[in-house]
Structure 1
Amino acid sequence: MTALASPAPSSVPESPALPAAGSSFYAAMRLLPAAQRDAMYAVYAFCRAVDDVADDGGARDQRAAELDRWRADIDALYAGRPAPRLAPLAGPVRDFGLKREDFLAVIDGMAMDAEADIVAPDAATLDLYCDRVASAVGRLSVRIFGLAEEPGRALAHHLGRALQLTNILRDIDEDAERGRLYLPRERLAAIGLSHPTPEAALRHPRLAEVCTALAAEAEAHYQASWRIIAAAPRRATKAPRIMAAAYHLILDGLLARGWAAPRTRVKPGKLALIGVLLRHGIL
Protein backbone atom coordinates (compact mmCIF):
# COMPACT_ATOMS: atom_id res chain seq x y z
CA MET A 1 0.00 0.00 0.00
CA THR A 2 1.48 3.33 -0.99
CA ALA A 3 1.76 6.21 1.43
CA LEU A 4 -0.43 8.31 -0.85
CA ALA A 5 -2.91 5.51 -1.28
CA SER A 6 -3.28 4.90 2.43
CA PRO A 7 -6.96 5.19 3.35
CA ALA A 8 -8.03 7.97 5.66
CA PRO A 9 -11.32 7.85 7.56
CA SER A 10 -13.73 10.48 6.30
CA SER A 11 -17.42 11.22 6.19
CA VAL A 12 -17.06 11.91 2.47
CA PRO A 13 -17.09 8.84 0.20
CA GLU A 14 -13.79 8.34 -1.61
CA SER A 15 -13.69 7.94 -5.38
CA PRO A 16 -10.76 6.35 -7.23
CA ALA A 17 -9.83 9.72 -8.71
CA LEU A 18 -10.12 11.93 -5.66
CA PRO A 19 -8.57 11.66 -2.19
CA ALA A 20 -10.80 11.54 0.84
CA ALA A 21 -11.68 15.04 2.02
CA GLY A 22 -10.41 14.22 5.50
CA SER A 23 -6.98 12.99 4.44
CA SER A 24 -3.71 14.85 4.92
CA PHE A 25 -2.97 14.25 1.25
CA TYR A 26 -6.16 16.06 0.22
CA ALA A 27 -5.40 18.97 2.51
CA ALA A 28 -1.86 19.31 1.18
CA MET A 29 -2.80 19.03 -2.49
CA ARG A 30 -5.71 21.46 -2.48
CA LEU A 31 -3.28 24.25 -1.49
CA LEU A 32 -1.23 23.77 -4.66
CA PRO A 33 -1.67 25.82 -7.86
CA ALA A 34 -4.27 24.26 -10.16
CA ALA A 35 -1.83 22.63 -12.61
CA GLN A 36 0.18 21.02 -9.83
CA ARG A 37 -2.94 19.99 -7.95
CA ASP A 38 -4.48 18.33 -11.01
CA ALA A 39 -1.21 16.57 -11.78
CA MET A 40 -0.99 15.21 -8.23
CA TYR A 41 -4.60 14.02 -8.35
CA ALA A 42 -3.80 12.16 -11.59
CA VAL A 43 -0.77 10.52 -9.99
CA TYR A 44 -2.86 9.70 -6.91
CA ALA A 45 -5.59 8.10 -9.04
CA PHE A 46 -3.00 5.88 -10.71
CA CYS A 47 -1.56 4.86 -7.33
CA ARG A 48 -5.00 4.09 -5.93
CA ALA A 49 -5.91 2.00 -8.96
CA VAL A 50 -2.82 -0.20 -8.91
CA ASP A 51 -2.97 -0.45 -5.11
CA ASP A 52 -6.53 -1.74 -5.41
CA VAL A 53 -5.32 -4.40 -7.85
CA ALA A 54 -2.65 -5.56 -5.39
CA ASP A 55 -5.06 -5.67 -2.44
CA ASP A 56 -8.42 -6.63 -3.91
CA GLY A 57 -7.83 -7.65 -7.53
CA GLY A 58 -9.00 -11.25 -7.27
CA ALA A 59 -6.86 -14.37 -7.58
CA ARG A 60 -3.10 -13.87 -7.75
CA ASP A 61 -2.88 -14.70 -11.45
CA GLN A 62 -5.62 -12.16 -12.15
CA ARG A 63 -3.75 -9.51 -10.17
CA ALA A 64 -0.51 -10.26 -12.03
CA ALA A 65 -2.27 -10.03 -15.39
CA GLU A 66 -3.91 -6.73 -14.50
CA LEU A 67 -0.63 -5.25 -13.31
CA ASP A 68 0.91 -6.32 -16.62
CA ARG A 69 -1.87 -4.42 -18.37
CA TRP A 70 -0.98 -1.34 -16.30
CA ARG A 71 2.66 -1.73 -17.39
CA ALA A 72 1.54 -1.90 -21.01
CA ASP A 73 -0.60 1.20 -20.50
CA ILE A 74 2.38 3.09 -19.07
CA ASP A 75 4.45 2.08 -22.11
CA ALA A 76 1.63 3.28 -24.39
CA LEU A 77 1.40 6.55 -22.46
CA TYR A 78 5.08 7.27 -23.11
CA ALA A 79 4.67 6.24 -26.74
CA GLY A 80 2.03 8.95 -27.14
CA ARG A 81 -0.94 6.57 -27.16
CA PRO A 82 -2.46 6.91 -23.69
CA ALA A 83 -5.22 4.49 -22.74
CA PRO A 84 -8.36 6.26 -21.53
CA ARG A 85 -7.63 5.40 -17.89
CA LEU A 86 -4.22 7.11 -18.14
CA ALA A 87 -5.29 10.06 -20.31
CA PRO A 88 -5.24 12.44 -17.27
CA LEU A 89 -1.50 11.72 -16.90
CA ALA A 90 -0.56 12.76 -20.44
CA GLY A 91 -0.37 16.46 -19.56
CA PRO A 92 1.54 16.02 -16.27
CA VAL A 93 4.04 13.66 -17.92
CA ARG A 94 4.70 16.28 -20.59
CA ASP A 95 4.59 19.38 -18.40
CA PHE A 96 6.55 18.11 -15.41
CA GLY A 97 8.89 15.57 -17.00
CA LEU A 98 7.55 12.61 -15.00
CA LYS A 99 9.67 9.51 -15.49
CA ARG A 100 8.35 6.24 -16.92
CA GLU A 101 10.59 4.22 -14.61
CA ASP A 102 8.97 5.73 -11.52
CA PHE A 103 5.48 4.68 -12.62
CA LEU A 104 6.80 1.21 -13.38
CA ALA A 105 8.50 1.08 -9.97
CA VAL A 106 5.14 1.76 -8.29
CA ILE A 107 3.60 -1.14 -10.23
CA ASP A 108 6.55 -3.36 -9.29
CA GLY A 109 5.97 -2.49 -5.64
CA MET A 110 2.31 -3.45 -5.93
CA ALA A 111 3.38 -6.69 -7.58
CA MET A 112 5.37 -7.54 -4.45
CA ASP A 113 2.07 -7.53 -2.54
CA ALA A 114 0.13 -9.22 -5.33
CA GLU A 115 2.50 -12.14 -5.94
CA ALA A 116 2.49 -13.35 -2.32
CA ASP A 117 1.62 -12.04 1.11
CA ILE A 118 4.74 -10.34 2.41
CA VAL A 119 5.73 -11.85 5.76
CA ALA A 120 8.79 -10.59 7.65
CA PRO A 121 10.89 -9.43 4.69
CA ASP A 122 14.61 -8.99 5.22
CA ALA A 123 15.76 -5.40 5.63
CA ALA A 124 16.91 -5.06 2.03
CA THR A 125 13.58 -6.32 0.67
CA LEU A 126 11.65 -4.03 2.98
CA ASP A 127 13.72 -1.06 1.82
CA LEU A 128 13.11 -2.01 -1.83
CA TYR A 129 9.39 -2.25 -1.11
CA CYS A 130 9.39 1.19 0.52
CA ASP A 131 11.31 2.61 -2.42
CA ARG A 132 8.83 1.26 -4.94
CA VAL A 133 5.52 1.96 -3.23
CA ALA A 134 6.43 5.26 -1.58
CA SER A 135 9.70 6.86 -2.66
CA ALA A 136 8.90 6.27 -6.35
CA VAL A 137 5.66 8.18 -5.78
CA GLY A 138 7.80 10.84 -4.11
CA ARG A 139 10.06 11.07 -7.17
CA LEU A 140 7.01 11.78 -9.32
CA SER A 141 5.67 14.26 -6.77
CA VAL A 142 8.80 16.37 -6.28
CA ARG A 143 8.97 17.02 -10.01
CA ILE A 144 5.42 18.35 -9.86
CA PHE A 145 6.25 20.45 -6.80
CA GLY A 146 9.19 22.01 -8.63
CA LEU A 147 12.14 20.86 -6.54
CA ALA A 148 15.56 20.69 -8.15
CA GLU A 149 16.68 17.22 -9.23
CA GLU A 150 19.22 16.32 -6.54
CA PRO A 151 17.40 17.59 -3.43
CA GLY A 152 14.12 16.37 -4.90
CA ARG A 153 15.34 12.80 -5.26
CA ALA A 154 16.87 12.91 -1.79
CA LEU A 155 13.61 14.17 -0.30
CA ALA A 156 11.65 11.46 -2.12
CA HIS A 157 14.04 8.85 -0.75
CA HIS A 158 13.76 9.90 2.88
CA LEU A 159 10.19 11.15 3.12
CA GLY A 160 8.83 8.19 1.17
CA ARG A 161 10.47 5.79 3.59
CA ALA A 162 9.37 7.83 6.61
CA LEU A 163 5.74 7.78 5.51
CA GLN A 164 5.74 4.11 4.54
CA LEU A 165 7.37 2.94 7.76
CA THR A 166 4.77 4.99 9.64
CA ASN A 167 2.05 3.25 7.63
CA ILE A 168 3.53 -0.15 8.46
CA LEU A 169 3.61 0.60 12.18
CA ARG A 170 0.10 2.04 12.17
CA ASP A 171 -1.38 -0.86 10.20
CA ILE A 172 0.25 -3.92 11.79
CA ASP A 173 -3.06 -5.35 12.97
CA GLU A 174 -4.92 -4.69 9.72
CA ASP A 175 -2.04 -6.15 7.71
CA ALA A 176 -1.99 -9.25 9.91
CA GLU A 177 -5.66 -9.82 9.12
CA ARG A 178 -4.61 -10.00 5.45
CA GLY A 179 -1.82 -12.44 6.31
CA ARG A 180 0.88 -9.80 5.93
CA LEU A 181 3.71 -8.73 8.20
CA TYR A 182 6.08 -5.97 7.10
CA LEU A 183 8.25 -5.92 10.22
CA PRO A 184 11.85 -6.80 9.22
CA ARG A 185 13.04 -10.36 9.64
CA GLU A 186 16.32 -9.43 11.28
CA ARG A 187 14.65 -7.49 14.08
CA LEU A 188 12.15 -10.28 14.69
CA ALA A 189 14.99 -12.81 14.84
CA ALA A 190 16.67 -10.63 17.46
CA ILE A 191 13.70 -11.20 19.80
CA GLY A 192 13.66 -14.94 19.16
CA LEU A 193 11.27 -15.25 16.20
CA SER A 194 13.27 -17.09 13.57
CA HIS A 195 10.19 -18.26 11.60
CA PRO A 196 7.67 -15.49 12.27
CA THR A 197 4.03 -15.45 11.33
CA PRO A 198 1.85 -12.36 11.64
CA GLU A 199 -0.01 -13.90 14.58
CA ALA A 200 3.13 -14.95 16.43
CA ALA A 201 4.77 -11.56 15.93
CA LEU A 202 1.80 -9.59 17.21
CA ARG A 203 1.47 -11.84 20.26
CA HIS A 204 5.16 -11.73 21.12
CA PRO A 205 5.94 -10.07 24.47
CA ARG A 206 8.90 -8.22 22.92
CA LEU A 207 7.01 -6.83 19.93
CA ALA A 208 7.55 -3.30 21.29
CA GLU A 209 11.30 -3.64 20.78
CA VAL A 210 10.85 -4.30 17.08
CA CYS A 211 8.29 -1.54 16.58
CA THR A 212 10.27 1.01 18.56
CA ALA A 213 13.38 0.27 16.50
CA LEU A 214 11.42 0.66 13.25
CA ALA A 215 9.94 3.90 14.58
CA ALA A 216 13.49 5.15 15.18
CA GLU A 217 14.32 4.39 11.54
CA ALA A 218 11.26 6.34 10.45
CA GLU A 219 12.27 9.23 12.72
CA ALA A 220 15.74 9.34 11.15
CA HIS A 221 14.13 9.61 7.72
CA TYR A 222 11.82 12.40 8.94
CA GLN A 223 14.80 14.33 10.29
CA ALA A 224 16.70 13.91 7.01
CA SER A 225 13.59 15.10 5.16
CA TRP A 226 13.34 18.23 7.28
CA ARG A 227 16.98 19.08 6.64
CA ILE A 228 16.37 18.89 2.88
CA ILE A 229 13.14 20.87 3.19
CA ALA A 230 14.86 23.61 5.21
CA ALA A 231 17.40 24.15 2.44
CA ALA A 232 14.83 24.18 -0.40
CA PRO A 233 12.60 27.04 -1.64
CA ARG A 234 9.52 27.25 0.58
CA ARG A 235 7.12 27.47 -2.36
CA ALA A 236 8.29 24.04 -3.60
CA THR A 237 7.97 22.32 -0.23
CA LYS A 238 4.51 23.29 1.00
CA ALA A 239 2.93 19.92 0.24
CA PRO A 240 5.80 17.75 1.54
CA ARG A 241 5.94 19.86 4.71
CA ILE A 242 2.27 19.22 5.37
CA MET A 243 2.61 15.50 4.63
CA ALA A 244 5.70 15.13 6.83
CA ALA A 245 4.17 17.02 9.74
CA ALA A 246 0.81 15.24 9.52
CA TYR A 247 2.33 11.77 9.32
CA HIS A 248 4.73 12.57 12.13
CA LEU A 249 1.68 13.15 14.33
CA ILE A 250 0.76 9.51 13.64
CA LEU A 251 4.24 8.31 14.58
CA ASP A 252 4.13 10.35 17.79
CA GLY A 253 0.71 8.91 18.56
CA LEU A 254 1.92 5.35 18.03
CA LEU A 255 4.87 5.86 20.36
CA ALA A 256 2.61 7.43 22.99
CA ARG A 257 0.05 4.62 22.70
CA GLY A 258 2.61 1.83 22.83
CA TRP A 259 2.45 -1.62 21.26
CA ALA A 260 0.60 -3.76 23.81
CA ALA A 261 -2.67 -5.31 22.69
CA PRO A 262 -5.36 -4.24 22.26
CA ARG A 263 -3.93 -1.53 20.01
CA THR A 264 -6.38 1.27 19.22
CA ARG A 265 -5.93 2.86 15.82
CA VAL A 266 -4.03 6.14 15.97
CA LYS A 267 -5.60 9.07 14.19
CA PRO A 268 -4.44 12.69 14.65
CA GLY A 269 -7.07 15.04 16.03
CA LYS A 270 -8.61 17.78 13.93
CA LEU A 271 -7.05 20.55 15.99
CA ALA A 272 -3.58 19.07 15.53
CA LEU A 273 -4.11 18.80 11.77
CA ILE A 274 -5.41 22.37 11.62
CA GLY A 275 -2.23 23.40 13.39
CA VAL A 276 -0.16 21.64 10.72
CA LEU A 277 -2.07 23.44 7.97
CA LEU A 278 -1.67 26.81 9.67
CA ARG A 279 2.03 26.33 10.20
CA HIS A 280 2.99 24.82 6.86
CA GLY A 281 0.19 25.58 4.43
CA ILE A 282 -0.68 29.19 5.07
CA LEU A 283 2.20 30.87 6.89
Structure 2
Amino acid sequence: MSLEAAAANPSDGTTASGSSFYAAMRILPRAQREAMFQIYSFCRQVDDIADSDGPRPERLAALQQWRDDIDALYQGHPPPRLADYVTSVRKFDLKREDFLAIVDGMEMDVPQDIRAPDIATLDLYCDRVASAVGRLSVRVFGLPEADGILLAHHLGRALQLTNILRDVDEDAGLGRLYLPREGLLLAGITGDDPVRVIADRALPKVCLPLAERAKLHFQKADEIMNRNKRRAVRAPRIMSKYYRAILDLLLARGFASPRTPVRVTKMARIAILLRYAFI
Protein backbone atom coordinates (compact mmCIF):
# COMPACT_ATOMS: atom_id res chain seq x y z
CA MET A 1 0.00 0.00 0.00
CA SER A 2 1.38 3.39 -0.97
CA LEU A 3 1.93 6.29 1.35
CA GLU A 4 -1.03 8.23 0.01
CA ALA A 5 -3.29 5.20 0.17
CA ALA A 6 -2.33 4.69 3.78
CA ALA A 7 -3.09 8.31 4.53
CA ALA A 8 -6.70 7.62 3.65
CA ASN A 9 -6.93 4.14 5.15
CA PRO A 10 -10.22 3.89 7.09
CA SER A 11 -8.79 1.13 9.31
CA ASP A 12 -6.68 3.77 11.03
CA GLY A 13 -9.60 6.12 11.45
CA THR A 14 -8.09 8.28 8.74
CA THR A 15 -10.53 8.90 5.93
CA ALA A 16 -9.82 11.71 3.50
CA SER A 17 -11.26 14.34 5.82
CA GLY A 18 -9.71 12.96 9.01
CA SER A 19 -6.32 11.66 7.94
CA SER A 20 -2.94 12.76 9.16
CA PHE A 21 -2.36 13.97 5.61
CA TYR A 22 -5.52 16.08 5.65
CA ALA A 23 -4.77 17.57 9.06
CA ALA A 24 -1.22 18.45 8.08
CA MET A 25 -2.26 20.06 4.80
CA ARG A 26 -5.12 22.10 6.26
CA ILE A 27 -2.63 24.38 8.01
CA LEU A 28 -1.04 25.46 4.73
CA PRO A 29 -1.79 28.72 2.88
CA ARG A 30 -4.40 28.32 0.16
CA ALA A 31 -2.11 27.95 -2.88
CA GLN A 32 0.04 25.38 -1.13
CA ARG A 33 -3.00 23.55 0.22
CA GLU A 34 -4.59 23.33 -3.22
CA ALA A 35 -1.36 22.04 -4.76
CA MET A 36 -1.00 19.39 -2.07
CA PHE A 37 -4.54 18.16 -2.52
CA GLN A 38 -3.96 17.94 -6.26
CA ILE A 39 -0.90 15.77 -5.58
CA TYR A 40 -2.96 13.73 -3.13
CA SER A 41 -5.80 13.29 -5.64
CA PHE A 42 -3.39 12.18 -8.35
CA CYS A 43 -1.81 9.61 -6.03
CA ARG A 44 -5.17 8.27 -4.94
CA GLN A 45 -6.37 7.82 -8.50
CA VAL A 46 -3.33 5.92 -9.73
CA ASP A 47 -3.20 3.88 -6.52
CA ASP A 48 -6.85 2.90 -6.97
CA ILE A 49 -5.98 1.56 -10.42
CA ALA A 50 -3.10 -0.51 -9.06
CA ASP A 51 -5.19 -1.89 -6.19
CA SER A 52 -8.32 -2.66 -8.17
CA ASP A 53 -9.30 -6.23 -9.00
CA GLY A 54 -9.70 -5.48 -12.70
CA PRO A 55 -7.81 -7.41 -15.38
CA ARG A 56 -4.10 -6.65 -15.25
CA PRO A 57 -3.87 -5.56 -18.92
CA GLU A 58 -6.64 -3.02 -18.33
CA ARG A 59 -4.89 -1.65 -15.25
CA LEU A 60 -1.62 -1.35 -17.15
CA ALA A 61 -3.42 0.51 -19.93
CA ALA A 62 -5.05 2.88 -17.41
CA LEU A 63 -1.69 3.67 -15.85
CA GLN A 64 -0.19 4.28 -19.29
CA GLN A 65 -3.02 6.72 -19.97
CA TRP A 66 -1.94 8.63 -16.86
CA ARG A 67 1.59 8.81 -18.24
CA ASP A 68 0.24 10.16 -21.51
CA ASP A 69 -1.87 12.71 -19.64
CA ILE A 70 1.13 13.88 -17.59
CA ASP A 71 3.13 14.30 -20.79
CA ALA A 72 0.27 16.32 -22.26
CA LEU A 73 0.18 18.50 -19.14
CA TYR A 74 3.85 19.36 -19.47
CA GLN A 75 3.53 19.90 -23.24
CA GLY A 76 0.98 22.65 -22.62
CA HIS A 77 -2.28 20.92 -23.48
CA PRO A 78 -3.48 19.23 -20.28
CA PRO A 79 -6.43 16.83 -20.37
CA PRO A 80 -9.53 17.90 -18.43
CA ARG A 81 -8.64 15.88 -15.34
CA LEU A 82 -5.31 17.71 -15.02
CA ALA A 83 -6.40 21.18 -16.14
CA ASP A 84 -6.40 22.50 -12.57
CA TYR A 85 -2.79 21.36 -12.10
CA VAL A 86 -1.32 23.90 -14.52
CA THR A 87 -1.08 26.71 -11.98
CA SER A 88 0.48 24.53 -9.28
CA VAL A 89 3.01 22.98 -11.68
CA ARG A 90 4.17 26.44 -12.74
CA LYS A 91 4.03 28.12 -9.34
CA PHE A 92 5.95 25.40 -7.49
CA ASP A 93 8.04 24.02 -10.36
CA LEU A 94 6.67 20.52 -9.90
CA LYS A 95 8.68 17.99 -11.88
CA ARG A 96 7.24 15.72 -14.55
CA GLU A 97 9.63 12.92 -13.60
CA ASP A 98 8.25 12.78 -10.06
CA PHE A 99 4.67 12.33 -11.26
CA LEU A 100 5.86 9.63 -13.64
CA ALA A 101 7.86 7.93 -10.90
CA ILE A 102 4.69 7.60 -8.82
CA VAL A 103 2.92 5.90 -11.73
CA ASP A 104 5.92 3.60 -12.17
CA GLY A 105 5.76 2.71 -8.48
CA MET A 106 2.08 1.89 -8.58
CA GLU A 107 2.68 -0.21 -11.67
CA MET A 108 5.18 -2.41 -9.80
CA ASP A 109 2.18 -4.17 -8.21
CA VAL A 110 0.29 -4.72 -11.46
CA PRO A 111 2.02 -7.24 -13.78
CA GLN A 112 2.19 -9.49 -10.73
CA ASP A 113 1.81 -8.90 -7.03
CA ILE A 114 5.01 -7.95 -5.25
CA ARG A 115 6.29 -10.84 -3.14
CA ALA A 116 9.47 -10.67 -1.09
CA PRO A 117 11.39 -8.18 -3.25
CA ASP A 118 15.13 -7.92 -2.79
CA ILE A 119 16.29 -4.91 -0.78
CA ALA A 120 17.19 -2.89 -3.87
CA THR A 121 13.73 -3.42 -5.39
CA LEU A 122 12.04 -2.59 -2.11
CA ASP A 123 14.03 0.64 -1.89
CA LEU A 124 13.08 1.53 -5.47
CA TYR A 125 9.44 0.88 -4.63
CA CYS A 126 9.67 3.15 -1.58
CA ASP A 127 11.34 5.84 -3.64
CA ARG A 128 8.63 5.78 -6.28
CA VAL A 129 5.47 5.52 -4.18
CA ALA A 130 6.64 7.65 -1.24
CA SER A 131 9.79 9.69 -1.79
CA ALA A 132 8.61 10.87 -5.22
CA VAL A 133 5.50 12.19 -3.49
CA GLY A 134 7.84 13.89 -1.05
CA ARG A 135 9.87 15.48 -3.84
CA LEU A 136 6.70 17.08 -5.20
CA SER A 137 5.60 18.09 -1.72
CA VAL A 138 8.80 19.79 -0.54
CA ARG A 139 8.65 22.09 -3.55
CA VAL A 140 5.19 23.15 -2.44
CA PHE A 141 6.37 23.60 1.15
CA GLY A 142 9.21 25.86 -0.01
CA LEU A 143 12.23 23.97 1.28
CA PRO A 144 15.66 24.62 -0.24
CA GLU A 145 16.37 22.27 -3.15
CA ALA A 146 19.08 20.10 -1.59
CA ASP A 147 17.47 19.71 1.82
CA GLY A 148 14.06 19.21 0.24
CA ILE A 149 15.22 16.28 -1.87
CA LEU A 150 17.08 14.80 1.10
CA LEU A 151 14.03 15.15 3.33
CA ALA A 152 11.86 13.48 0.70
CA HIS A 153 14.36 10.61 0.53
CA HIS A 154 14.41 9.91 4.26
CA LEU A 155 10.87 10.78 5.31
CA GLY A 156 9.34 8.99 2.33
CA ARG A 157 11.18 5.80 3.19
CA ALA A 158 10.40 6.13 6.91
CA LEU A 159 6.69 6.48 6.23
CA GLN A 160 6.52 3.75 3.62
CA LEU A 161 8.44 1.21 5.73
CA THR A 162 6.06 2.00 8.59
CA ASN A 163 3.12 1.36 6.25
CA ILE A 164 4.60 -1.97 5.21
CA LEU A 165 5.06 -3.07 8.82
CA ARG A 166 1.59 -1.91 9.82
CA ASP A 167 -0.16 -3.49 6.84
CA VAL A 168 1.68 -6.80 6.62
CA ASP A 169 -1.47 -8.81 7.35
CA GLU A 170 -3.72 -6.72 5.11
CA ASP A 171 -1.24 -6.92 2.23
CA ALA A 172 -0.95 -10.70 2.64
CA GLY A 173 -4.71 -10.90 2.19
CA LEU A 174 -4.21 -9.22 -1.21
CA GLY A 175 -1.46 -11.68 -2.14
CA ARG A 176 1.34 -9.19 -1.55
CA LEU A 177 4.45 -9.35 0.60
CA TYR A 178 6.73 -6.33 0.80
CA LEU A 179 9.18 -7.72 3.38
CA PRO A 180 12.67 -8.03 1.84
CA ARG A 181 13.84 -11.41 0.63
CA GLU A 182 17.20 -11.03 2.34
CA GLY A 183 15.50 -10.49 5.68
CA LEU A 184 13.30 -13.53 5.22
CA LEU A 185 16.28 -15.74 4.40
CA LEU A 186 18.25 -14.46 7.42
CA ALA A 187 15.26 -15.40 9.60
CA GLY A 188 15.16 -18.87 8.05
CA ILE A 189 12.03 -18.24 5.99
CA THR A 190 12.60 -19.64 2.51
CA GLY A 191 9.16 -19.26 0.92
CA ASP A 192 7.38 -16.15 -0.32
CA ASP A 193 3.76 -17.18 0.06
CA PRO A 194 2.34 -14.18 1.97
CA VAL A 195 -0.11 -16.14 4.14
CA ARG A 196 2.53 -18.64 5.20
CA VAL A 197 5.17 -15.99 5.83
CA ILE A 198 3.00 -13.87 8.12
CA ALA A 199 2.12 -17.00 10.13
CA ASP A 200 5.78 -17.97 10.60
CA ARG A 201 7.05 -17.64 14.17
CA ALA A 202 10.27 -16.09 12.84
CA LEU A 203 8.42 -13.10 11.38
CA PRO A 204 9.57 -10.69 14.15
CA LYS A 205 13.17 -11.36 13.08
CA VAL A 206 12.26 -9.90 9.69
CA CYS A 207 10.16 -6.98 10.90
CA LEU A 208 12.39 -5.64 13.67
CA PRO A 209 15.36 -4.80 11.42
CA LEU A 210 12.96 -3.07 9.03
CA ALA A 211 11.58 -1.06 11.93
CA GLU A 212 15.11 -0.06 12.92
CA ARG A 213 15.74 1.11 9.37
CA ALA A 214 12.57 3.20 9.51
CA LYS A 215 13.73 4.74 12.80
CA LEU A 216 17.03 5.77 11.22
CA HIS A 217 15.19 7.43 8.35
CA PHE A 218 12.95 9.27 10.85
CA GLN A 219 16.07 10.49 12.67
CA LYS A 220 17.68 11.74 9.46
CA ALA A 221 14.43 13.47 8.51
CA ASP A 222 14.32 15.18 11.92
CA GLU A 223 17.87 16.46 11.46
CA ILE A 224 16.93 18.03 8.13
CA MET A 225 13.72 19.58 9.47
CA ASN A 226 15.52 20.95 12.53
CA ARG A 227 17.84 23.06 10.37
CA ASN A 228 15.09 24.54 8.21
CA LYS A 229 12.52 27.24 8.82
CA ARG A 230 9.71 26.06 11.06
CA ARG A 231 6.98 27.25 8.71
CA ALA A 232 8.42 25.27 5.78
CA VAL A 233 8.49 22.01 7.73
CA ARG A 234 5.28 22.19 9.75
CA ALA A 235 3.32 19.87 7.45
CA PRO A 236 6.03 17.22 6.97
CA ARG A 237 6.80 17.30 10.68
CA ILE A 238 3.16 16.56 11.53
CA MET A 239 3.19 13.64 9.09
CA SER A 240 6.45 12.42 10.59
CA LYS A 241 5.15 12.53 14.15
CA TYR A 242 1.93 10.71 13.24
CA TYR A 243 3.80 7.91 11.53
CA ARG A 244 6.51 7.71 14.17
CA ALA A 245 3.70 7.22 16.70
CA ILE A 246 2.40 4.33 14.58
CA LEU A 247 5.88 2.78 14.46
CA ASP A 248 6.23 3.09 18.24
CA LEU A 249 2.87 1.36 18.70
CA LEU A 250 3.97 -1.44 16.37
CA LEU A 251 7.19 -1.93 18.30
CA ALA A 252 5.33 -1.93 21.62
CA ARG A 253 2.85 -4.51 20.30
CA GLY A 254 5.45 -6.66 18.61
CA PHE A 255 5.19 -8.63 15.40
CA ALA A 256 4.42 -12.09 16.71
CA SER A 257 1.04 -13.60 15.85
CA PRO A 258 -1.70 -12.74 16.65
CA ARG A 259 -1.20 -9.10 15.72
CA THR A 260 -3.92 -6.67 16.72
CA PRO A 261 -4.23 -3.50 14.61
CA VAL A 262 -2.57 -0.41 16.02
CA ARG A 263 -4.19 2.98 16.04
CA VAL A 264 -3.07 6.43 17.10
CA THR A 265 -5.81 7.76 19.33
CA LYS A 266 -7.76 10.86 18.42
CA MET A 267 -6.33 12.69 21.43
CA ALA A 268 -2.79 11.81 20.41
CA ARG A 269 -3.43 13.06 16.88
CA ILE A 270 -4.86 16.33 18.22
CA ALA A 271 -1.85 16.74 20.52
CA ILE A 272 0.55 16.33 17.61
CA LEU A 273 -1.38 18.81 15.50
CA LEU A 274 -1.50 21.39 18.29
CA ARG A 275 2.17 21.03 19.17
CA TYR A 276 3.63 21.20 15.69
CA ALA A 277 1.11 23.37 13.87
CA PHE A 278 0.28 26.06 16.38
CA ILE A 279 2.50 26.04 19.49
Question: In the alignment, is the contact (CA less than 8 A) between 1:12 and 1:21 conserved in 2?
Answer: no
**Which structure 2 residues correspond to residues 2-151 of structure 1 after superposition, within 5 A?**
2-6=2-6, 7-9=8-10, 20-56=16-52, 58-151=54-147
Q: Cα offset for 1:11? A: 11
Q: How many residues align?
A: 278
Change (3 A) 1:198 1:12: closer
Q: Cα offset for 1:194? A: 2.3
Large movers: runs of 4+ above 4 Å: 10-14
Change (3 A) 1:185 1:28: same
Aligned-partner Cα distance in 1 for 2:267–2:13: 19
Q: Cα offset for 1:88? A: 2.1
2:233 matched to 1:232?
no
Q: Cα offset for 1:36? A: 0.2
Aligned-partner Cα distance in 1 for 2:12–2:98: 32
Q: 2:271 corresponds to which residue?
A: 275
Aligned-partner Cα distance in 2 for 1:118–1:240: 28
Aligned-partner Cα distance in 2 for 1:209–1:76: 47
* Paired amino acid for 1:21: S
Deviations 1:36-93 (A, max 9, x none): 0000000000000000000016111001000000000000000111111111211110
Aligned-partner Cα distance in 2 for 1:136–1:149: 14
Q: Cα offset for 1:221? A: 0.2
SS in 2 for 1:157: helix
Q: Cα offset for 1:2? A: 2.2
* Paired amino acid for 1:209: K
**Which structure 2 residues correspond to residues 256-275 of structure 1 after superposition, within 5 A?**
256-275=252-271
Q: 1:17 corresponds to which residue?
A: none
The unaligned stretches of length 5 or more in structure 1 are 15-19
2:174 matched to 1:178?
yes
Aligned-partner Cα distance in 2 for 1:95–1:122: 38
Aligned-partner Cα distance in 1 for 2:63–2:11: 28
Q: 1:154 corresponds to which residue?
A: 150
Percent identity reads 59
SS in 2 for 1:260: coil
Deviations 1:183-225 (A, max 9, x none): 0000000111223211221111111111111000000000000
Change (3 A) 1:171 1:225: same
2:206 matched to 1:241?
no
- Pick one of 201, 208, 213 that aligns with 2:204: 208
SS in 1 for 2:154: helix
Question: In the alignment, is the contact (CA less than 8 A) between 2:155 and 2:218 conserved in 1?
Answer: yes
Q: Cα offset for 1:12? A: 9.6
Question: In the alignment, is the contact (CA less than 8 A) between 1:9 and 1:22 conserved in 2?
Answer: no
Measured on the aligned residues, the alpha-carbon RMSD in Å equals 1.5
Aligned-partner Cα distance in 1 for 2:5–2:174: 17
Aligned-partner Cα distance in 2 for 1:72–1:41: 21
Aligned-partner Cα distance in 1 for 2:202–2:132: 33
Q: Please, which moves more after superposition, 204-213 or 224-233?
A: 204-213
* Paired amino acid for 1:155: L
Question: In the alignment, is the contact (CA less than 8 A) between 1:155 and 1:229 conserved in 2?
Answer: yes
With the length of structure 1 as denominator, give the TM-score of the two structures: 0.95
Change (3 A) 1:56 1:79: same
Q: 1:218 corresponds to which residue?
A: 214
